[in-house]
């Protein structure tokens, strides 16, 4: 099989020539152009599950894995220009290894009007779906409910149809690079996928708001055939809480939150003439009070920061985990650190390693340090696939696997595979494996972060 991109070079595409059917301008609001993204060295192309589903459709469709690997490298090196997204089509100019440029398109079937009516009707019945979309999320149950209504949102095998001026008949490196780049856009905004399926964000939200308002008034908007698209339901007692929440964008805004204090409040002084009870250490209590004030100030700052509503709620720490957090963040006196080590059931060196892990990645990093587990066949297959694609042929270091840990045979470094699919680098110091850097989706990048040459 040929390299797949021996056709004509392409110059001059500005992102605005082709419309919905490839022959005219797209309707207002039905085309978005995204500036070229920077290189993605050491990072995966899709962190969200829907972005990974997009790449799975690409990788299951393409017949030549070599072209995909080359396209992935093009995208990683930043060779994909501005990406234009419109119903049924994505387009970009991709720069080849010799600086030739090719116009690449990937086509995806638009949903029919009947499909959109079913999707809108299903979505407006479930306030959580609207809330998720507005938070730039695409939860699995939204996709599952849409599929149950006969609407397939995510592409499947064969749904991503490539077109490129290199004249390849299958996915070439240029269309593959475009798909990998679009996976990064999908991570940030699932409305990109909905636009490809035929509805821009503003139009979709407007249609949802019409249906929300109609439900609140006890009747439904007319569908294409003149019938009501949503069943009428009157309620003299008012509007359901979930419906009011879903309609929040058409309600008056809430008042501005109070300003953030410039700094945490001071901890109370415990220096009194009264002797403390046995086992109570005033200095340790003052440290805990100072830490509590700083945490409260930080949590308030996060709550008032833009986009905080999109973050998932953090889980409560166990006493053993909180001891590590205190040692890492409060930086207590050595005698307090010894008490934290003893209270959490760790020796001094163990607490030192735990503190280092915490500073690299909090609870997730601490769990990887202290938990050894055996991946099930599905996790193991996914991990081996990521290892196989991380290095070019002949460049991968020799790794010895044991459970979720891969140790480099020729150097004192190790990769640990977390349950979330990320890779954590470790380095051997004084006969003990210690964390050496933050997690990465790319095992090669994680191994490089260990500070020891890969080979």
- pLDDT band at 137, cuts 50/70/90? confident
Are residues 94 and 4 in contact, defined by beta-carbon separation less than 8 angstroms?
A: no
Residue 92 reports pLDDT greater than 90:
yes
pLDDT the model gives residue 377: 92
**What is the rounded distance in angstroms from the CA atom of residue 46 to the CA atom of residue 234?**
44
- pLDDT band at 261, cuts 50/70/90? confident
**What is the rounded distance in angstroms from the CA atom of residue 353 to the CA atom of residue 373?**
19
**Residue 22 φ/ψ region, left for φ over 0, alpha for ψ in the -120 to 50 degree band, beta for the rest:** left
pLDDT the model gives residue 243: 59
**Residue that is written with structure tokens 């780049």 in the block:** 181
pLDDT the model gives residue 90: 95
Cα 379 to chain centroid distance, Å, stands at 19
**Of 104, 65, 66, 60, which Cα lies nearest the Cα of 84?**
104
Are residues 177 and 80 in contact, defined by beta-carbon separation less than 8 angstroms?
A: yes
- pLDDT band at 434, cuts 50/70/90? very high
Residue that wins the pLDDT comparison between 140 and 160: 160
Are residues 421 and 428 in contact, defined by beta-carbon separation less than 8 angstroms?
A: no
**Of 198, 212, 195, which Cα lies nearest the Cα of 114?**
198
**What is the rounded distance in angstroms from the CA atom of residue 434 to the CA atom of residue 209?**
53
In tens, the pLDDT along 338-365 reads: 888 888 899 989 999 999 999 999 999 9
In tens, the pLDDT along 45-62 reads: 888 888 888 999 898 888
pLDDT the model gives residue 13: 40
Are residues 19 and 110 in contact, defined by beta-carbon separation less than 8 angstroms?
A: no
Both tokens of 220, joined, read 């439904």
- 83-86 and 89-95 strand pairing: antiparallel
Which whole number is the average pLDDT over 88-97? 92
Are residues 95 and 101 in contact, defined by beta-carbon separation less than 8 angstroms?
A: yes
Mean pLDDT, the chain, rounded, equals 81
pLDDT the model gives residue 244: 61
Distances (CA, A) of 346 to 58, 82, 101: 48, 52, 58
Are residues 119 and 151 in contact, defined by beta-carbon separation less than 8 angstroms?
A: yes
Strand order in the sheet with 399-402: 399-402, 405-408, 413-417, 423-429, 432-435
Largest CA distance in the chain: 88
The count of other CB atoms within 10 Å of the CB of residue 123 is: 25
- pLDDT band at 409, cuts 50/70/90? confident
Residue 424 reports pLDDT greater than 90:
yes
pLDDT the model gives residue 21: 37
In tens, the pLDDT along 206-252 reads: 888 888 777 766 654 544 444 444 333 333 345 567 656 665 565 55
């Amino acid at each position: 099989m040929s390299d797949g991109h021996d056709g004509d070079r392409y110059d001059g595409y500005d992102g605005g020539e082709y419309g919905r059917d490839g022959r005219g301008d797209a309707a207002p609001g039905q085309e978005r152009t995204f500036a070229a993204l920077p290189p993605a060295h050491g990072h995966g192309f899709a962190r969200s599950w829907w972005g990974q589903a997009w790449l799975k459709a690409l990788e299951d469709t393409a017949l030549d894995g070599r072209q995909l690997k080359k396209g992935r490298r093009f995208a990683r090196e930043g060779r994909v220009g501005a990406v234009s997204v419109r119903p049924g089509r994505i387009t970009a100019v991709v720069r080849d290894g010799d600086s030739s440029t090719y116009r690449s398109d990937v086509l995806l079937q638009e949903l029919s009007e009947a499909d959109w009516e079913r999707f809108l009707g299903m979505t407006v019945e479930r306030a959580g779906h609207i809330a998720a979309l507005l938070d730039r999320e695409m939860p699995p149950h939204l996709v599952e409910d849409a599929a149950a209504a006969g609407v397939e949102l995510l592409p499947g095998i064969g749904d991503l149809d490539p077109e490129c001026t290199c004249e390849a008949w299958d996915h070439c490196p240029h269309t593959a690079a475009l798909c990998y780049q679009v996976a990064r856009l999908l991570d940030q905004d699932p409305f990109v996928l909905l636009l490809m399926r035929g509805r821009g964000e503003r139009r979709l939200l407007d249609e949802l708001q019409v249906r929300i308002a109609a439900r609140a008034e006890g009747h439904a908007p007319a569908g294409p055939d003149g019938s009501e698209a949503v069943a009428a339901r009157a309620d003299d007692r008012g509007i359901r809480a979930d419906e009011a929440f879903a309609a929040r964008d058409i309600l008056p805004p809430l008042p501005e939150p109070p300003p953030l204090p410039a700094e945490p409040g001071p901890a109370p002084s415990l220096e009194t003439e009264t002797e403390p009870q046995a086992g109570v250490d005033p200095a340790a209590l003052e440290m805990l009070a100072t830490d509590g004030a700083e945490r409260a100030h930080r949590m308030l700052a996060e709550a008032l920061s833009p986009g905080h509503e999109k973050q998932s709620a953090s889980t409560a720490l166990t006493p053993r985990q909180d001891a590590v957090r205190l040692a890492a963040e409060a930086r207590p006196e050595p005698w307090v650190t010894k008490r934290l080590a003893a209270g959490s059931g760790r020796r001094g060196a163990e607490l030192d390693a735990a503190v280092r892990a915490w500073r690299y990645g909090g609870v997730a990093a601490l769990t990887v340090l202290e938990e050894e587990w055996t991946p099930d066949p599905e996790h193991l297959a996914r991990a081996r696939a990521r290892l196989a694609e991380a290095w070019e042929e002949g460049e991968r270091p020799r790794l010895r696997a044991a459970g979720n840990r891969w140790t480099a045979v020729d150097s004192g470094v190790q990769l640990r595979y977390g349950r979330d699919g990320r890779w954590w680098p470790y380095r051997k110091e004084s006969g003990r494996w210690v964390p050496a850097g933050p997690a990465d989706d790319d095992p090669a990048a994680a191994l490089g972060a260990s500070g020891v040459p890969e080979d």
